[in-house]
A = this chain, B = another copy of it.
Amino acid sequence: MLPVVVVHGGAGQIPKERSEMSTAGVCRAARAAYSILQGGGSSMDAVVEAVSLLENDPSFNAGCGSVLNVKGEVEMDAIVMDGKMLRSGAVSAVRNIANPVQLARLVMDKTSHACLTAEGANQFASAMGVPSVPQESLITEYSQMRWKKNLTPDADPVECQMGKMGTVGAVAVDGEGNISCATSTGGMLNKMEGRVGDTPCIGSGGYADNNIGAVSTTGHGEAIMKVTLARLILFHMEQGQSVEAASDLGLAYMRSRVHGLGGVVTVDPRGHWAVRFSSRQMSWAAAQKDTLHYGLYTGEHYTQSINAH
């Protein structure tokens, strides 16, 4: 059953003309991460690679393609977590960085801290030799169009958010049984400057524990935080629930208690995996035993050989 990697490209309602691009993007990310795992790479290497590819893909709300804040600027959040020692690293409200997930990993590996924010995160990036990229390189025409649309007085950014891909993320278990997660986002459409959502918040945007499993979340960030969704699902797994049942229990509770929609990818130490969402769609892909699995709508589950292209 090992190794395995599961990738998501965000929960929401994806316009038809963008759905092929997002499916192609998550499949590419899952293949690349699986190839790392097959080569003996760690689950951390695999999830960071998968999320970096999604950050580089303008179809997703992370890195290039991030939604814009109310001022029309890009501020990004990301987290990684290593299930062996429960080490984690995160950045919040960081600017001018092509791959926030890689910076989050540097926070984990090179500092005694778990999260750096805003200007402090950028100073750290600079000290680590991570290049500063022009903001324009992260902004797409599509994100600018949506930003302008949501500046009108009757706009509903939360509703509109569901019209595009959300946060991206990945979970993986490597051949040694080490479990990792990574999540990255441009956040919420037309958010206030300095808004930090669920993504960099440990237990909300993601959590990994070699003894239990790992979860990466996407959806309405403030609702995810209210129920600490990733940790909640893992608590259900600690109580003996399967990856599917635990994920469904967590999402159902979020819906009933705080009226929030979202999606998750979940793995356990034996390599069982689940993709569950309460939103209309979530682009996802998984790779295990030389098979690529992927889908977009509820119940959709395609497979193909990992070597077919």
Chain A residues within 8 Å of B, Cβ to Cβ = 85-88, 90, 92-93, 111-121, 123-124, 158, 188, 191-197, 201-204, 207, 221-222, 225-228, 231-232, 235, 257-258
Contacts of A226 in B (CB 8 A): 86-88, 114, 202
Write the chain B residue with the least CB distance to A187.
B113
Q: How far is the CB of A92 from chain B (nearest CB, A)?
A: 6
Q: How far is the CB of A36 from chain B (nearest CB, A)?
A: 25
Question: Can you list 23 contacts pairing A with B, beta carbon distance less than 8 Å?
Answer: A85-B258, A86-B258, A88-B226, A90-B196, A93-B117, A93-B118, A93-B120, A111-B195, A112-B222, A113-B196, A113-B222, A114-B225, A115-B201, A117-B118, A118-B118, A118-B194, A120-B192, A123-B193, A124-B192, A124-B194, A202-B204, A202-B226, A231-B232
Write the chain B residue with the least CB distance to A113.
B195
Contact A117 B92 (CB under 8 A): yes
Instruction: Given A226-B86, A257-B86, A258-B85, check contact A194 B112 (CB 8 Å).
Output: no
Contact A227 B86 (CB under 8 A): yes
A201 to B196, CA, bound (A): 10
Partner of A158 from B112, B191, B195, B225 at Cβ < 8 Å = B112
A116 to B196, CA, bound (A): 6
Contacts of A158 in B (CB 8 A): 112
Contacts of A188 in B (CB 8 A): 113
Q: How far is the CB of A200 from chain B (nearest CB, A)?
A: 8
A116 to B69, CA, bound (A): 13
Instruction: Given A85-B258, A204-B203, A257-B86, check contact A116 B192 (CB 8 Å).
Output: yes
Q: How far is the CB of A69 from chain B (nearest CB, A)?
A: 8
Instruction: Given A85-B258, A235-B235, check contact A113 B191 (CB 8 Å).
Output: yes
A232 to B124, CA, bound (A): 31
A193 to B92, CA, bound (A): 13
Instruction: Given A86-B258, A204-B203, check contact A119 B194 (CB 8 Å).
Output: yes
Contacts of A207 in B (CB 8 A): 228
A71 to B24, CA, bound (A): 46
Contact B194 A120 (CB under 8 A): yes
Write the chain B residue with the least CB distance to A94.
B194
Partner of A228 from B87, B195, B231 at Cβ < 8 Å = B231
